[in-house]
Amino acid sequence: MTDIDIEVDPALDAHLRRTLREVASTVPDRATSDNVVRLVTVPTRSDRGRRWAWLGAAAAASVVAGVGLTAVADRDSDHTTVPAATTAPLAGADPDMFGLANGCAAAHGRNAFDEPMNAVVFAPTGSAPNGIVLVSVDDVFFTCGVSSDGDAMLTDHSFVGQIWGNPPRGEAVQVLEVRADTSRSALVGPGRILIIGRAGAAVEGIDVALPDGATSPAQLVGRWFVADAQVPPDVPMMAARLNWHTRSGATSTSRVDLLDDETDAEACAGERGCVDAALAQLLNEARDAGRSEQAAILADGEVTNSERVASLTRFADCFNAANTGATATVSGPGGVRIGTSNLEDWDATERALDVDALCGAAHTVFVDDAWLLLDTQRRVAQR
Amino acid sequence: MSAAERIDLGECYRQQRADLVRLAYLLSGDRELAEDVVQVVFADAQHRWDAVTDARAYLRRAVTNRVKDAQRRRFRQPVPPTDAQWTGIPDVDETWQVVRRLPPTQRHVVVLHFYEDLALVDIAELLGRNPTTVRSDLHRAIKTLKGTIRD
């Protein structure tokens, strides 16, 4: 004991040590040493010298990251040109996540160098050249292909998606982005679904389940997870599910929806993708009209359009019968609009309604969906 | 420590990440914050790792400082609910609830002293505070704990 230490009652001393040990032991290790997702935060600044320092940091990050991937930045003539210096291979740089992040950001039209940015590269272990990685730049997510020579490149088919319904309540679960790449269409494989997100501490495992019964466990590092599902030929990608397994043993399921940026509502008539096009149309209409008070609720993705309309009608009837002060109107297979006086009222409506209890029998329609969609609307409105 | 003896960062990550998350959790009382803090600490460590001679001490200091910073930013946020059973051991859970509600400066000293087994002079150095202030914090924390923990 040094002269500044104080004497603590031995019983209390022992009790405190035991308490802290026991509590600490409840914190599990969610990282597996050999399956660590490459997750590298690469802060950048416009200052050239400092940028090089961070380049070194990104290179060193591979120590934590694991599997090698020697990607360097690509240049896209339509967008920002990445300075050649940043594409130079670094001694020991494996992978050059910095180059990849910047190449991807540049390919997507974001100037990675004129402004500070925070880039995070997500590449599931085993991702090889020609694979797809996710890159987040200032919280905007891109998919990026990695060519056989290690260059970052734009993916040919990229579908922004959403997760609908039923993440474990009470947990800080947040799915940030869903993107899929497929050589045929958004609707069926072969393809790939990548989901990135942050899960609450109570979430023990996450997997993507496909209609053919295959499941792909997500890799967890800290709160981040990356789920990477290869979709076999002819398997509907729209029917993918995201399963959340909590420490309590409970499992809840969310639906994975893929929205094709290029989808045209009329061109896809008769296909299930129309539902998503209809949703996109609803969002656009709401944005154009400034109707931020409207929320749309999607129905389950495994039903036909007519079944969906019927289901939504049942839901709307149920909703309206509840006299919440808001009015639900079926606006086609894409969803139900719920008119409220303003966005803030929606939270009160949601709380008062308890749709799961009230209308859950009508069909699998979740208020969570509407809440997520409100978020989408906000994002749309901010663009 | 020579370069040859220096532990590889990746190896260090695998060996120490879980322990550091536990330390961050005890310091913060927030598991998600703890995991975020440790991830950031390792990300930050990458470009200064060559200069690190005592990995454990460096990482412990970095985690502690990150938790302090995060708690400063969260100053106005309410303490998370405390009705959970953390271990299922009644006297342990009860004590942890009291520790968790200590002012951050006192809690940090308690955790570093009783969990990390650091002497007060080392805690003072780690926290960048006056040793007598640290001693006073521990004294106050002990007084609170004695007054609220059942025999």
The token pair at A248 is 């309590």
Question: Which domain CATH number covers B132?
Answer: 1.10.10.10
Terminal CA-CA length for chain A? 62
Most confidently modeled range among A168-182, A220-234, A271-285? A220-234
B71/B87 same-domain check = no
Range of A352-356, B85-89, B112-116 with top mean pLDDT = B112-116
Per-residue pLDDT tens for A202-230? 778 888 888 788 888 887 655 667 777 88
Please report the pLDDT score of residue B18 as a whole number. 86
Say yes or no for a CB contact (<8 Å) between B87 and A25.
yes
In this predicted structure, the answer to whether residue A177 has a pLDDT above a threshold of 50 is yes
pTM above 0.80, yes or no: no
Name residues whose C-beta falls within 8 Å of residue B68's C-beta, 6 or more positions apart in sequence: B104, B108, B127
Higher pLDDT, A78 or A137: A137
For residue B115, the model assigns a pLDDT of 96
Per-residue confidence band for A332, with pLDDT thresholds at 50, 70 and 90: low
Does B63 lie in the same domain as B20?
yes
CATH code assigned to A159-260: 2.60.40.10
The total domain count for chain B is 2
B123 has pLDDT over 60: yes
Tell me: do B100 and B47 sit in the same domain.
no
> Which residue from B minimizes the CA distance to A8?
B142
Radius of gyration of chain B (CA): 16
* pLDDT above 70: residue B55: yes
Q: What is the mean pLDDT of residues A40-64?
A: 32
Does residue B117 have a pLDDT over 60?
A: yes
What value does the mean pLDDT of chain B take? 81
Greater model confidence, A172 or A251:
A251
Residues of A with Cβ-Cβ distance to B35 under 8 angstroms:
30, 201, 222-223
**Lowest pLDDT segment from A103-112, A190-199, A351-360:** A351-360
Amino acid at B150: R
Q: Answer whether residue A313 shows pLDDT above 90.
A: no
Q: Which of A22, A57, A223 sits opposite B36 (nearest CB)?
A: A223
Question: Residue A381: pLDDT above 50?
Answer: no
- A81-90, A225-234, B14-23: least confidently modelled range: A81-90
Whether the per-residue pLDDT at A351 is higher than 70: the answer is no
Per-residue model confidence (pLDDT) at position A250: 83
Mean pLDDT score, A239-266: 67
Nearest to B14 among A17, A33, A39 (CB): A33
B58: which 2 tokens? 């460096």
Q: Which among A27, A5, A202, A17 has a CA at the least distance from the CA of B95?
A: A17
Q: Which of A100-114, A120-134, A252-266, B106-120 has the lowest mean pLDDT?
A: A120-134
Whether residue B53 is found in the same domain as residue B115: no
Asked whether residue B51 carries a pLDDT value surpassing 70, the answer given is yes
Residue B118 has pLDDT above 90, yes or no: yes
Q: Flag whether pLDDT at A333 surpasses 90.
A: no
Q: How confident is the model at residue A3 (pLDDT cuts 50, 70, 90)?
A: low
Contact between chains at A64 and B13 (C-beta distance less than 8 A): yes
Per-residue confidence (pLDDT) for residue B73, from 0 to 100: 60
Among all residues of chain B, which has the CA nearest to that of A11?
B151
Interface test with A, best of B12, B17, B101 (most A CBs within 10 A): B17
**Shared-domain flag, residues B1 and B47:** yes
What is the mean pLDDT of the segment spanning B134-144?
92
Q: With b meaning 16 or more CB within 10 Å and e meaning fewer, what string describes B49-74? A: beebeebeebbbbbbbebbbebbeee
The pLDDT confidence band at residue A114, using thresholds 50, 70 and 90, is very low
Residue A204 has what pLDDT? 81
Question: Which helix H or strand E contains A349, and what residues bound it?
Answer: helix A343-353
The nearest alpha carbon in chain B to A42 belongs to B43
Q: Minimum mean pLDDT among A268-272, A341-345, B114-118: which range?
A: A268-272
HEC secondary structure over A135-176: EEECCEEEEEEECCCCEEECCCCCEEEEEECCCCCCCCCEEE
B61 and B94 belong to one structural domain: no
- Residues B64, B92 within the same domain: no
**What residue type is B29 in one-letter code?**
G
- Which residue of B9, B26, B34 is in closest CB contact with A60? B9
Which of B91, B119, B142 lies at the smallest CB-CB distance from A2? B119
Task: Give strand ranges (E) for A312-352.
Answer: 327-330, 336-339
Higher pLDDT, A280 or A267: A280
Mean pLDDT of B3-27: 77
Average pLDDT, chain A: 52
Could you tell me the pLDDT band of residue A367, with boundaries at 50, 70 and 90?
very low
Largest CA distance in chain B: 51
Which residue in B has a C-alpha nearest to residue A53's C-alpha?
B47
Residue A162: other Cβ atoms inside 10 A: 22
Using the predicted structure, report yes or no on whether residue A336 has a pLDDT greater than 50. yes
What pLDDT band is residue A100 in, cutting at 50, 70 and 90? low
Map tokens 């708690």 to a residue: B71
Angstrom CA distances, A108 to A35, A76, A119, A258, stand at 29, 9, 13, 19
Q: What order of strands is seen across the sheet that includes strand A140-146?
A: A38-44, A117-123, A132-137, A140-146, A152-153
Residue B103's domain comprises 83-151
Higher pLDDT, B102 or A141: B102
In degrees, to the nearest 5, what angle opens at C-alpha A255 toward C-alphas A174 and A301?
Answer: 145
CB-based contact A16 B110, cutoff 8 Å:
yes
C-alpha torsion sign, points A317, A321, A322, A323: positive
Q: What distance in Å separates the CA atoms of residue A86 and residue A96, rounded to the nearest whole number?
A: 10
Q: CA separation (Å) from B103 to B70, B91, B107?
A: 14, 21, 6
Which one, of A259, A256, A302, A309, lies nearest residue A279 by Cα?
Answer: A259
> Which of A145-159, B40-54, B55-69, B71-85 has the largest mean confidence?
B55-69
pLDDT reported for residue A248? 80
B27 and B88 belong to one structural domain: no
- Mean pLDDT over A263-277 rounds to 35
Residue at token pair 């914090």: B137
Domain boundary among B77, B98, B114: B77
Residues of A in contact with B87 (CB under 8 A): 22-23, 25-26
Model pLDDT, residue A174 = 53
Distance CA B22, CA B31 (A): 8
Looking at the fold, whether B44 and B92 belong to one and the same domain comes out as no
A232 or A367, which is more confident:
A232
- Residue B86 to residue A23, Cβ atoms within 8 A: yes
Q: Which residue blocks in chain B are alpha helix, DSSP H?
A: 9-28, 31-45, 55-73, 90-100, 104-114, 120-127, 131-148
> What pLDDT is recorded for position A287?
42
ipTM: 0.91
- B39 and B59 in a single domain? The answer is yes
The full set of domain ranges for chain A reads 38-153, 159-260, 273-382
**Which residues in chain B are closer than 8 Å to A224, comparing Cβ atoms?**
39
- Are B148 and B99 members of one domain? yes
Residue A18 is predicted with a pLDDT of 94
**Residue A177: DSSP 8-state:** E
Q: What per-residue confidence (pLDDT) applies to A77? A: 26
Distance (Å, whole) CA A36 – CA B8: 16
- Cβ-Cβ pairs closer than 8 A, A with B, add up to 131
Q: Which residues on chain B are in Cβ contact (under 8 Å) with A20?
A: 26, 96, 99, 111, 114-115
Residue pair B50/A56 in contact (Cβ under 8 Å)? The answer is no
B49 contact A CB<8A: yes
B36 and B53, same domain (yes or no): yes
Pick from A8, A221, A223: which is nearest to B32 by CB?
Answer: A223
Among A214-223, A324-333, B101-110, name the one with the lowest average pLDDT.
A324-333
Q: How confident is the model at residue A378 (pLDDT cuts 50, 70, 90)?
A: very low
Lowest mean pLDDT among A274-288, A365-379, B25-39: A365-379
> Are the beta carbons of A6 and B138 separated by less than 8 Å?
yes
**Which positions 91-150 of B are in contact with A (Cβ < 8 Å)?**
91-92, 95-96, 99, 110-111, 114-115, 119-121, 124, 131-132, 134-135, 138-139, 142, 145-146, 149
Higher pLDDT residue, A322 or A33? A322
**Nearest by Cα to A223 from B117, B108, B39:** B39
Contact A41 B40 (CB under 8 A): yes
